Amino acid sequence: METVSENRCFGGVQGVYRHASAVCGCDMTFGLFMPPQAASGPVPLLWYLSGLTCTHENAMTKAAAQGWAAEAGLALCFPDTSPRGADIADDAAYDLGQGAGFYVDATQTPWAPHFNMWSYVTEELPRALDAAFPVDPERQAIMGHSMGGHGALTVAMNHPGRFASVSAFAPISHPVASDWGRKQFTAYLGADEGTWTRHDATLLMQAGGFDGPVLIDQGSEDQFLDLLRPGDLAQAMAARVQDGQFRIQKGYDHSYWFMQSFMEDHIAFHAEALGL
């Protein structure tokens, strides 16, 4: 584990670290905020999965989450959104390739050797954090934005019992019915749509939902509403009678200004679910 940087932040430490990833076949970088309470022992861990084009740095510097996490006593992990490097497959489009891993394990050429973000965020990186930092693997929650909201919801629903809560800002809610999904799933997973369903939050909600509380915030002025398809997930939550809230925030768009405006709510939501 290589320390790229560490800075004092709200009484804790905001770090950036790099490590060799076996599942992605390259070095991976992530951000980790450790609150001041970590000086006394392991603390609960909240995952933040970012959206298209982001690195580990975007939410780390723009989401205004650390202050609320320090108050609650939560560690925050900001993984990257894809493998990166000159020898790693990429695409000219912003929504495929590097910066657009979609939190799946690719099975198709040329993506399969490196694009294994599902295994990275659900298996390899959690083990690395547990080995190197005072985080409590038995007390976890997960959240994300856009592509990362899709990732947070699908990871949570595919791992019952692991996460106390899940939340999302403007998630890609029904990717099998959207160009933000069909394009990427075809490229990464192939044409067999049966392999896509475990990566679709609406279908997972219809099939079984989440075994804890859910919080979704969606801006009414989001410029990507046709690609996100929030209504599909809202209907599935209502039909499932899912424990949680789906909130439409009037006037807000898809930006980090939206996330900053409601980050306190999301941190408090996860802190309560984790018993803090």
Q: Counting beta carbons within 10 angstroms of the beta carbon of residue 26, is it exposed (0 to 12), middle (13 to 18) or buried (19 or more)?
A: middle
Q: Residue with structure tokens 């979609």?
A: 102
- Measured between its terminal Cα atoms, the distance across the chain in Å is 29
One-letter amino acid at 100 equals A
- Is 46 in a helix, a strand, or coil? strand
Beta bridge partners of 244: 214
Residues annotated as part of the active site: 146, 222, 254
What is the rounded distance in angstroms from the CA atom of residue 57 to the CA atom of residue 98?
15
| H helix intervals, the chain | 57-62, 66-72, 117-119, 125-132, 147-158, 179-189, 201-207, 225-228, 230-240, 256-273
What is the rounded distance in angstroms from the CA atom of residue 99 to the CA atom of residue 81?
5
What is the rounded distance in angstroms from the CA atom of residue 183 to the CA atom of residue 180?
6
Q: Residue with structure tokens 């099939």?
A: 207
Beta-carbon count within 10 A of 114 CB: 22
Triad 76, 78, 84: Cα angle to 5°: 160
